[in-house]
């Protein structure tokens, strides 16, 4: 088994035109990529767990929203069935995550990360809007003006709306954790498949130092011989 000497592989410039070196280098890179793929362990259990959680939360959100919409005096700012469409998005994200875990593919994992990011953004928006709607509903009921605007106040509406807010907060936190987990996994897979950098230099630094020292020695010897010749000429005169 061949191994690279490090992340940077230094070679002389003459090796660029060497067919033997290029063949060896190509085999080396292929071997490195093969070992990198084998050393990368796809986090199947973690991705599958996130997928199942998104799927389950999405179903619960849709059921609660359908129940909330069936109440006669439900407050209008239940965001036009936000639990249904955010639930559908959560279910779809969960299905993509489960499929990515089954296929063990980084391409499907990237799709899962994109959908998780979208779900994270929408869940944050729904949390804010549902919280505002629940606060307005509670104020109307407390002020006694509920009949003028929303009809009779019901505890079931407050309870179900509070559960929706809680589930969306939970969904926001899960998508944030899942996005970080998938991002680290993808970063690790790409780093493992990157072969070391091959750098060619025009001359061996050691040979260059030796050559420089030899040139300095030859120059000093020439200078000393010239000085001796000059002194001999002065003595003869």
Residues 99, 63 share a domain: yes
| Greater model confidence, 112 or 75 | 112
Q: Are residues 107 and 215 in the same domain?
A: no
Q: Which tokens go with 186?
A: 């993808």
Are residues 137 and 187 both part of a single domain? yes
Residue 38 domain-assigned?
A: no
Same domain, 213 and 132: no
How many independent structural domains does the chain possess?
2
Pick the more confident residue, 71 or 78: 71
Would residue 151 count as lying in a domain? yes
147 shares a domain with 211: no
Q: Is the dihedral of CA 62, 63, 67, 68 positive or negative?
A: negative
- How far apart, in whole angstroms, are the C-alpha atoms of residue 110 and residue 194? 18
| Confidence (pLDDT) at 94 | 94
Domain of residue 100 covers 44-192
- pTM of the predicted structure, to 2 decimals: 0.62
- Reported as a single tens digit per residue, the pLDDT across 102-147 is 888 778 888 999 999 999 999 998 888 888 877 777 777 777 665 5
Q: Could you read off the pLDDT of 159-182 as tens digits, one per residue? A: 888 888 899 999 999 999 998 888
189: pLDDT confidence band, cut at 50, 70 and 90?
low
Taking CA atoms, 109 is separated from 38, 54, 145, in Å, by 18, 15, 51
Q: What is the DSSP-derived secondary structure letter of residue 17?
A: G
For the stretch 2-51, pLDDT in tens is: 444 444 454 555 556 667 766 777 777 776 666 655 556 678 888 999 99
Here the tokens at position 183 are 């991002």
- Look at residues 195, 158, 192, 168 and name the one whose alpha carbon lies nearest to residue 29: 195
Read off the pLDDT band of 237 (50, 70, 90): low
Q: How far is CA 87 from CA 38, 55, 120, 145, 168, in A?
A: 37, 8, 12, 32, 9
N- to C-terminal Cα separation, the chain: 75
207 and 140 inside one domain: no
């Amino acid at each position: 088994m061949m191994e690279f000497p490090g992340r940077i592989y230094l070679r002389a410039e003459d090796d660029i035109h060497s067919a033997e070196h290029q063949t060896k280098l190509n085999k080396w890179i292929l071997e490195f990529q093969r070992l990198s793929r084998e050393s990368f362990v796809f986090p199947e259990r973690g991705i599958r767990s996130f997928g199942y959680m998104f799927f389950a939360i999405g179903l619960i959100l849709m059921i609660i929203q359908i129940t909330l919409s069936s109440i006669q005096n439900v407050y209008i700012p239940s965001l036009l069935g936000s639990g249904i469409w955010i639930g559908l998005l959560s279910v779809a994200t969960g299905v993509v995550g489960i499929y990515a875990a089954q296929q063990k593919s980084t391409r499907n994992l990237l799709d899962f990360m994109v959908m998780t990011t979208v779900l994270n953004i929408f869940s944050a928006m729904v949390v804010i809007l549902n919280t505002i709607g629940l606060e307005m509903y509670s104020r109307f009921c407390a002020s006694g003006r509920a009949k003028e605007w929303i009809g009779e106040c019901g505890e079931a509406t407050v309870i179900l709306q509070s559960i929706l807010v809680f589930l969306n907060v939970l969904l926001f936190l899960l998508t944030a954790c899942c996005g970080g987990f998938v991002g680290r996994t993808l970063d690790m897979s790409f780093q493992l498949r990157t072969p070391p950098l091959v750098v060619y230099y025009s001359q061996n630094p050691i040979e260059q130092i030796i050559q420089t020292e030899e040139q300095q020695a030859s120059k000093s010897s020439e200078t000393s011989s010239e000085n001796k010749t000059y002194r001999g000429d002065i003595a003869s005169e």
